[in-house]
Amino acid sequence: MSLLPRLCLALASLLPALHATPASGADTPEARVIVKLKTSSALKQIQAAGRVETLGQRLGLATRLAGQPAQDLHVVRASGLSSEALARRLSRDADVEYAVPDRLKKALALPNDPLFGSQWYLHASSVTQPAATNAQAAWELTSGNAGVIVAVVDTGVRLDHEDLAPRLLPGYDFISDDLLSGDGQNGRDADPSDPGDYLSTADLANNDLRTLCNTTLPTTSSWHGTQVAGILAAETNNSRGIAGMAGSSRLLPVRVLGKCGGFDSDIIAGMRWAAGLSVPGVPANPNPARVINVSLGGEGSCNPAFAAAVAEIQTAGALVVAAAGNETGPVLEPANCTGVLAVAGIRHVGTKVGYSSYGAAVGISAPAGNCVNVLAGQPCLFPLINTINLGSTAPAGNGYTGINDVTVGTSFATPLVAGTAALMLAANPALSGTEIIRLIKTSALPFPSDASLPNCPLVTSDGQCNCTTTTCGAGMLNTGTAVAAALATVATAPVAKITVGGTPTAQTAFSLDASGSTSADGSRIVAWKWVQVSGPQPGSFSADNVATPSFTAPTAGIYVISVTVTTATGRQGSSQTSIEVQAAPAKSSGGGGGGSMDMATLALLGLLAPVALLLRRRGLASRD
């Protein structure tokens, strides 16, 4: 059997079907469902735990609140039935807008052992390697920008890796289920380091975890997030290790995957937090990401919870780049959500690599690694070289994967695209997510054709086919041309300007003004979009689509506000400002005006007291 079929079979064994039903009712895992209430629901007037308990009582079930990915989303848990069954029953409730199973997502790569080798995929495109991304040409235009932050939503990152440590920002661990976390902590915490996602014999002795993971076989740690982070932004020009695509961009590690994967609710919470959106019970993210790398996925179409999260993230000004999947089938969730830039995998020659998922949802294709050779014991010829930890289970020393390692998968194609987006933002920070996607697509190289292969969606026995623009996206990633295109838009992009009126004070509306924004090409500015990027608590705009709204901050603190302006020719420019909001003035205990007025009132009462006493003695004062 050739190597690619063996890789596909190995992947199938490592990533079992998410929807498999246990044979025994006793082994049925506890149901987990993400629920959103209707805007008109009276249940919103009570505490979140009470809402969930009330919904359960209506169904005759003992339900409990397991978390809140967002203020109006609830993770509901119940025993004795499947997540699918609970979702169906909750969906029929008059107060529920939607209810969807809180499924596990899997890391989408086939990592192995470390060894350093050549990063062929960053070189210039050639006759023998047309899929290479030409990153070197992009680095001649920009070395990246430390102000551009890219989030790695994954298994966490080894924070002590020498090639990553200089690039890392404080992140967060969003794994809420102790069965999956493996870090000895109780729920979510501020440590996004990867303790290893291995399954030991002792782990599998736990019936709940064994059932949840749907396996009886121990596994080693993947260090998946560390590998993705290295491809994305390993420190360059430091005389060691590998070069990261994104240059000097900084990394925000967000841990959502543990032993055997991660739940949708944790992934959604992590993605939202990475973009600077609030998550109940979690401190605000002081370093919102402009690009969010999601190298994970699961079967199914984009559910409403993921769709809503992606829409919020877009509004906050961030771009989600996600792996299409390694299933030789339809694009996985969340890559198939509208607004996400989905990445498929191609071989070094530009044809679809056998394991890559494909379809109309794909936006772009990038090298995902392929081994070519079919002789056992021969080195893999075209892997992606990654940062990794050398421990098979718990962390050990740090190192790199190499040419003897089968490090392939759309997980590793995705950070090449996310890194390209970061370089584009370094060249032109005013680019919106929509503009980044457009420029990446229009700068892509056309797919080559191999006469021995069918055109996708038809595939060979090992999954290969000639890519088309309806199955593998707009073309092959060309980082050099994409960054050049981003630079070319700088001269014509409008310049957004924000003016803050008065002294911003909590609980009092203060003015914002973007009417001073200008357009380089002379076209009229026709649209404005205001967003609160960060702050102690969510504030409110009088309107978010006018030039001069007001903003009300509920509490004192630093608030970051951004505005994106759009011209009549469709050009966009963004700007943001930090606003220090003062505390609201303390109210007097007497309920009157200022202190001097209170004293005057007291003095007047003192003068009138004798008169009142005299009137009372004469019977002329009113009685109580």
Identify the burial level of 586 via C-beta atoms within 10 angstroms of its C-beta, where 0-12 means exposed, 13-18 middle and 19 or more buried: exposed
pLDDT for 495 equals 84
Q: Which residue has the tokens 């509208």?
A: 338
**pLDDT, average across residues 93-100:** 96
Q: What is the largest CA-CA distance in the chain?
A: 117
Q: pLDDT by residue (tens digit) across 565-585? A: 888 877 788 888 889 999 998
**pLDDT, average across residues 120-144:** 90
pLDDT for 6 equals 36
Q: Which residue has the tokens 């009330």?
A: 54
pLDDT for 115 equals 33
Q: Quick check: 56 and 49 in contact, CB under 8 A?
A: no
Q: Quick check: 357 and 108 in contact, CB under 8 A?
A: no
Question: What are the structural domain ranges in the chain?
Answer: 19-102, 106-487, 493-581, 595-624
The whole-angstrom distance between residue 492's C-alpha and the CA centroid of its chain comes to 30
Assign 155 a pLDDT band (cuts: 50, 70, 90): very high
Distance CA 343, CA 365 (A): 5
Assign 605 a pLDDT band (cuts: 50, 70, 90): very low
19-102 CATH:
3.30.70
Q: How many other C-beta atoms are found inside a 10 Å radius of the C-beta of residue 226?
A: 29
**Catalytic residue check, 224:** yes
pLDDT for 381 equals 84
Round the average pLDDT of the chain to a whole number and report it. Answer: 86
What is the CATH class of 106-487?
alpha beta
Q: How many other C-beta atoms are found inside a 10 Å radius of the C-beta of residue 88?
A: 14
pLDDT for 376 equals 57
pLDDT for 26 equals 45
> One of 154, 177, 194, 197 is an active-site residue; which one?
154
SS (H, E, C) 31-97: EEEEEEECCCCHHHHCCHHHHHHHHHHHHCCCCEEEECCCCCEEEEEECCCCHHHHHHHHHCCCCEE
Q: pLDDT by residue (tens digit) across 432-480? A: 899 999 999 999 999 999 999 999 999 999 999 999 999 999 999 999 9
**Catalytic residue check, 161:** no
pLDDT for 377 equals 64
Q: Which residue has the higher pLDDT, 621 or 176?
A: 176
Angle at 158 between CA 68 and CA 246, to 5 degrees: 90
**Catalytic residue check, 154:** yes
Distance CA 502, CA 510 (A): 7
Q: pLDDT by residue (tens digit) across 401-420? A: 876 678 899 999 999 999 99
Distance CA 364, CA 370 (A): 18
493-581 CATH:
2.60.40.10
Q: Is 19-102's fold the same as 106-487's?
A: no
> One of 93, 224, 278, 562 is an active-site residue; which one?
224
Q: pLDDT by residue (tens digit) across 300-331? A: 999 999 999 999 999 999 999 999 999 999 99
pLDDT for 33 equals 97
pLDDT for 354 equals 93
Q: Is 195 helix (H, G, I), strand (E, B) or coil?
A: coil
pTM: 0.76
Q: How many other C-beta atoms are found inside a 10 Å radius of the C-beta of residue 330?
A: 18
> One of 82, 249, 265, 411 is an active-site residue; which one?
411
